[in-house]
């Protein structure tokens, strides 16, 4: 199921959930971006949350001798269970799973001399064409964390909360390729081999982010 369809389904839950007893909604802001959650109670000590989150993040990154412009879209849908170990306490232990539709589109930029250095070989940018790539991660990412606040603990009205945890998204999946190589095929084959080396280097560096930290604050309303 696509991120857009999951978002639409959760939006419908948010709309219908507002008319139910023991439900609330929250607006969230943090390392997962801007988000919204439906909160519903299973028992006095156990709540469930369904949410969508989005964060647009563009930046530059150097890997080896290459510099990349990265266009990032951090898109996640989460299903969480909040357990409150002590009655009446706002402290919670949370577990669940994220549907991780995060991806980064990469564009390598030539140096000031109009060249790319790939696997320690020098290429003219005009010969390489456009060097483009994509970075993404596994879709199902387990989450564990702690937090405070209970949107359903008080009478109808507003409350604050927060989350501190992380989800495991595994090794990065990276593709990197040259588009519109303009030189003879033998050199294009060598270029493809050198691009593959840079792809492996970028994948190794991007895999430093196997665990993604979650720190967010929320404003909740109980119906």
- Assigned domain for 223 exists: no
- Assigned domain for 157 exists: yes
- Assigned domain for 127 exists: yes
Q: Token pair of 15, please? A: 């709309």
Q: Token pair of 59, please? A: 């930046």
What is the number of structural domains in the chain?
Answer: 1
Read off the pLDDT of residues 28-73 as tens digits, 9 standing for 90 and up.
999 999 999 999 999 889 999 999 999 998 989 888 888 999 999 9
- Higher-confidence residue: 147 or 130? 147
CATH number of the structural domain spanning residue 201: 2.40.160
Beta-carbon-side half-sphere exposure of residue 114 (alpha carbons within 13 Å): 5
H or E element in which residue 222 lies: strand 211-222
Pairwise CA distance, residues 120 & 109, whole Å: 16
Q: Token pair of 177, please? A: 């390729």
Comparing C-alpha atoms, which of 27, 48, 46 is closest to residue 36? 27
Comparing C-alpha atoms, which of 139, 7, 134 is closest to residue 71? 134
Residue 196's pLDDT band (cuts 50, 70, 90): very high
Give the pLDDT confidence score for residue 2 in this predicted structure.
56
- Domain limits at 206? 3-218
Sign of the alpha-carbon torsion through 211, 1, 13, 43: negative
Does the predicted model carry a pTM greater than 0.75?
Answer: yes
- Assigned domain for 37 exists: yes
């Amino acid at each position: 199921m696509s991120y857009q369809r999951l978002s639409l389904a959760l939006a419908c839950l948010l709309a219908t959930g507002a008319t139910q007893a023991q439900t609330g909604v929250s607006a969230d802001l943090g390392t997962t971006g801007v988000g919204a959650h439906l909160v519903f109670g299973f028992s006095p000590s156990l709540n469930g949350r369904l949410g969508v989150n989005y964060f647009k993040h563009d930046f530059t990154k150097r890997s080896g001798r290459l510099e990349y412009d990265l266009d990032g879209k951090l898109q996640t849908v989460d299903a969480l269970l909040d357990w409150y170990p002590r009655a009446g306490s706002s402290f919670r232990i949370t577990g669940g799973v994220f549907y991780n539709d995060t991806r980064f589109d990469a564009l390598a930029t030539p140096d000031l001399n109009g060249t790319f250095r790939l696997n320690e070989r020098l290429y003219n940018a005009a010969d390489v064409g456009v060097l483009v790539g994509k970075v993404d991660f596994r879709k199902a990412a387990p989450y564990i964390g702690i937090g405070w606040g209970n949107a359903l603990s008080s009478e109808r009205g507003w409350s604050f909360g927060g989350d501190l945890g992380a989800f495991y998204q595994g090794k990065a999946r990276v593709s990197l390729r040259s588009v519109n190589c303009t030189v003879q095929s033998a050199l294009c084959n060598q270029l493809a081999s050198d691009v593959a080396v840079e792809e492996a280097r970028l994948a190794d560096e991007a895999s430093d982010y196997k665990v993604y930290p979650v720190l967010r604050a929320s404003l909740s309303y109980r119906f």
